[in-house]
Amino acid sequence: MDFSTLANTRYSVRKFSNKPVDKATIEQVIDVARKAPSAVNFQPYTVYAIMQPENLLKVKACYHRDWLNGAPAIIVVVGNKDMAWKRSADMKNYTDIDAAIFIDHLTLQAADMGLGTCWVCNFDIDGLSEALQLKATQEPIAIIPIGYAETHEPPVKKRKGLDDLLVWM
């Protein structure tokens, strides 16, 4: 897919088919995502690929939505705040930004391979940190269910128009 087609057709998938996703496919998605840029190239994240049923249940328990139960696999991107670049002028920590770029690469690569994903950030932070046994310096950034979508009809994109967000100067 060329990039504009990919950007136009990727959408949040919340209904997955029964088709399983294999480990090699998930690894390929993550392998491309790791080429994402990050501040000073510090790459302050760890990626958890969750496929074992008992671990899937633990993660799904941190975001109670029926649709999530249908996800055959889940990727959790964890930010390592102590490894991120901090801007010296104001000590702004770039973990979230770096992780977001990584996740965006990941969701687009998944879409290019015919897989559906959805960013999920409204999860139980303490519950997920405990399920993954994270350190105090680590923070779960997003849960990303991944699998094959039940339908292949991308919804019409609702977005601000150029006039609402573009400022020419």
* Residues lying near ligand FMN in the complex (CB under 6 A): 11-12, 118-122, 157
CB of 11 to ligand FMN, least distance (A): 4
CB of 160 to ligand FMN, least distance (A): 12
* Cα separation, 68 vs 16, whole angstroms: 9
Toward ligand FMN, which CB reaches closer, 12 or 69? 12
Toward ligand FMN, which CB reaches closer, 118 or 132? 118
Handedness of CA 119, 125, 127, 130 (dihedral sign): positive
Q: Record the tokens describing residue 84, joined without a space.
A: 């991120």
* Cα separation, 129 vs 142, whole angstroms: 12
CB of 163 to ligand FMN, least distance (A): 20
Cβ–Cβ under 8 Å, residues 156 and 86: no
CB of 120 to ligand FMN, least distance (A): 4
CB of 25 to ligand FMN, least distance (A): 21
* Cα separation, 92 vs 86, whole angstroms: 5
Toward ligand FMN, which CB reaches closer, 76 or 118? 118
The number of helix segments (H) and strand segments (E) in the chain equals 6, 4
* Cα separation, 39 vs 7, whole angstroms: 23
Toward ligand FMN, which CB reaches closer, 84 or 118? 118
Toward ligand FMN, which CB reaches closer, 11 or 42? 11
